[in-house]
Structure 1
């Protein structure tokens, strides 16, 4: 059965059974009707996935993997902050009349900095270091730029991806691992979406760097279930589990900037029914 399901069920059960509530406190998010969106939450959740064992997609319900990949490409490949460059509408609530979400996400990836070797934006520097100095402990992207927060329509949630290379005994290729740091997460709406996104990003970067995708460690500072989501989550985690799907990329792609959603191959994805009309706090 899917290990991602096991981790998700364990995390959600822990939040519901042992989490603290923000009810009655001053909170920023609101429901569509204007009432405060309170949460049950746990601080400092850490989940580990190994892409060498299986792809971490939930089978309790379907995660839209091509849409998840499209958003990853929007941020790290297109380096866009405009929702018109995105196929889905998940960012529409935070976009202005021009489609911009401000100096957030893809904008930050595309900011150029000067290094001794030349000028690089964040993603290009990751790719350069993995090629030229793969055992560096400084390979990362960071989207949380304090000087630009006032011009972001939403502060970045998953903001720090740290890459780390290991050479496993007997392995022909180095293993590329990632630590993802997230300040806050709506567990029902976004947990597996983010996990699958960064698993796919890890797979793409590993492939073009001649490495094997290995461990994905996901650290969440504030992992929460909204008050109007608790009953939905209770039902979801009681569902049957299925084997994890087989997920791969077109092996002919050798340049990160050549990947498209058509290069994603998903096979044998058996899952429970979709959860529809999830209320989203903004």
Structure 2
């Protein structure tokens, strides 16, 4: 059984059976028809994935590894906030007529800040510290910038990464670990998408910094299943998990800014059929 499937099934079962129902409460999201989008939610969900042992892509349904990598690189590599530089349409509902989502996500990663060593944006600072100060406890990013929230089409959901380097006994290479913090997570539409994205990021950064990959810890403040998603989730978690795929990252790439979605593959990735027609609350 894929470990990621087990984590997902257990999380969904716990949310549905033990979560808080927001039906009748004042909620912000709505469905396309204008009705409130209620959820069943759990507070403070923490999932751990050992990337050295397995890549955490669901087999219960397929996660598009190239598409989620493309969005990751749109934010972390292109540092863009314009959907015209993205190859999918997942941000279309939040973009203005120019394609901008405001001062969100990639915009925040592009802003340079003064350090004693010079000017760095958040991505370049992470890479600098991993190469020069790997045992620092200050290697982190933050997209939740209060002064810019009013100019964001959507407040960042996956808003922060904290990196931590360890060394295993008897190993020559250091091990790169990371904590992904999310204030909110749509479990059906986005949970495994985000897990795969930041697993890819850890693999990429480990490779360019000559480290090996370790753990991804996913911390979710509000893990929720929308009311119209519950039957889909029940069907999904009733499926039989399959064997986890193998992860391949192009070993020739040593510069983070040279990675493309084509440098990422899932080998022997067998899955059940996709869940289609997932309604998205906005």
Q: TM-score range by the shorter chain?
A: over 0.9
Q: 3-state SS of the aligned residue for 1:75?
A: helix
Summarize the alignment of residues 108-147 of structure 1 with structure 2, pairs less than 5 Å apart: 108-147=108-147
Aligned to 2:73: 73
2:95 aligned with 1:95: yes
- Alignment-derived partner of residue 169 in structure 1: 169
In structure 2, list runs of 5 or more residues that go unmatched: none
**Uncovered stretches (5+) of structure 1, i.e. residues with no partner:** none
What are the equivalent positions in structure 2 for 1:232-271 lying under 5 Å apart?
A: 232-271=232-271
1:9 aligned partner: 9
Calculate the TM-score normalised by the size of structure 1.
0.99
Q: 1:101-138 deviations in whole A, cap 9, x for unaligned? A: 00000000010000000000000000000011000000
User: What residue is the counterpart of 1:83 in the other structure?
Assistant: 83
Q: Tell whether the 8 Å contact from 2:142 to 2:159 is kept in structure 1 after alignment.
A: yes
Aligned to 1:22: 22
Q: Check conservation: 2:164, 2:176, Cα contact below 8 A.
A: yes
Partner Cα separation in structure 1 for residue 179 and residue 266 of structure 2: 24
2:274 is aligned to 274
Counterpart secondary structure, 2:235: helix
Report the Cα offset of residue 265 of structure 1: 2.1
What is the distance in 2 between the residues matched to 1:74 and 1:83?
A: 9
| 1:153-174 Cα deviation digits (max 9, x unpaired) | 0000000100000011111210
Distance 1:262 1:20 in 2: 41
| In the alignment, structure 1 residue 54 sits paired with structure 2 residue 31 | no
What is the TM-score when the length of structure 2 is the normalising length? 0.99
Q: How many aligned positions are there?
A: 282
CA contact (8 A) 2:81 2:106 kept: yes
Which contiguous aligned blocks of 4+ residues in structure 1 show a shift greater than 2 angstroms? none
| 1:181-196 superposed matches below 5 A | 181-196=181-196
Task: State the distance in 2 between where 1:173 and 1:121 align.
Answer: 26
Aligned counterparts of 1:216 and 1:56: Cα–Cα separation in 2: 10
User: 1: CA distance between counterparts of 2:248 and 2:199?
Assistant: 11
Secondary structure of residue in 1 paired with 2:173: coil
Q: 1:213, 1:140 → 2: CA distance?
A: 17
Question: Which residue of 2 is the match for residue 149 of structure 1?
Answer: 149
Residues 65 and 265, structure 2, Cα contact 8 Å, conserved in 1: no
For 2:266 and 2:38, how far apart are their aligned partners in 1? 36
